[in-house]
A and B are shown apart, each in its own frame.
Chain A
């Protein structure tokens, strides 16, 4: 699987570490979040069959984090958004 690092270009996936789903928000009001809300934040993550927004870090390269959209069935990585927007 070739992963397009926004800074280094296409590199093999062995150079990267996976960061899981992108855009996981910390509870907005942590003091008032109940057990169910904390359970959702801590344990529940998107697991779609199809396109998935996710985080990767180029750990054996530039060591920077970025986002991309990958299809979990075909492993195809959507070329958009542009590299600048994925940083």
Chain B
């Protein structure tokens, strides 16, 4: 993290040095866009820069970039994605009923203007994706809230990439939440109070006296805030941050949110119900960029190992934490997409090239998409949604030759 921070400062200087343009934010954005694109074509991919970009102001900026960078952050080869699950994924699945129940009730996670038919298709995909990932690793257990992670990924990167990303996350960042019991999750939540103790003793003591516990932050942690934020752009921004960070970072962010509301908390009656009530309702207008920066600073200042020692946290094996270093190391050796494409092709995995074509055609709802795209500019955003979700897979097949593929390219194609 220290290194990240240094780089961040360096980047800041570069931006300023380049500051002949009066509108600095735009200039910073342009600069950032080019840095990200440069990092993506470096060989090996410049993962440090991508991580720094994902965490720093504005995150990954656009959905198009997210589709390129998110897989890199998780060490995923976009040319070798899992296939669409078949219908048999639903057969004899122990979690089937619970998943369907939660997915059916997840309507609010979808953009407001999305036609019900399109949402229904995505919900079907969501169910299949979740069941497929669970089936791949029988040690993983579904939890309510997992579907909030799945839908966030699905809305940005499409079905097949979501399978790949969710699979990786489930075996790393989210792994502790997927034990048969929630004991490991509780253990992770236990890091929250020690952070508060370090920063604001008074607030910490107040919360201890109120016996509020930490369940108010449970849904924040296990859904990466997807369950509690109503504006999807904030959710994506936080996903940028968490995908690039240590698995405990959502807890550090929770701490900054509580600290941010310190005055409100202290004004509340010192009672479990009242404090739980206040804290569990997350304000929708939080200064996310500020809090993200603070969470990083807290992480640097009070790393998990230090907290564990100071707070005498009961030792417990956290798979998310113990596998993280190796996971991060593994991400350092990725080839850029152009190379991956060539290599994957060369490996003769013709199946992975054909499958997306097929699945794209299957899932594309040709009539509906056609109608959407026919409506011109107003519909571009919708089209992008539809595209990222239902055609995400096809993108890789259609635009294989375009280095800078994106919705715009596809819109022209259709």
**Does A associate with B in a complex?**
no
| Residues on A facing B (Cβ under 8 Å) | none
Give B residues with C-beta under 8 Å from A.
none
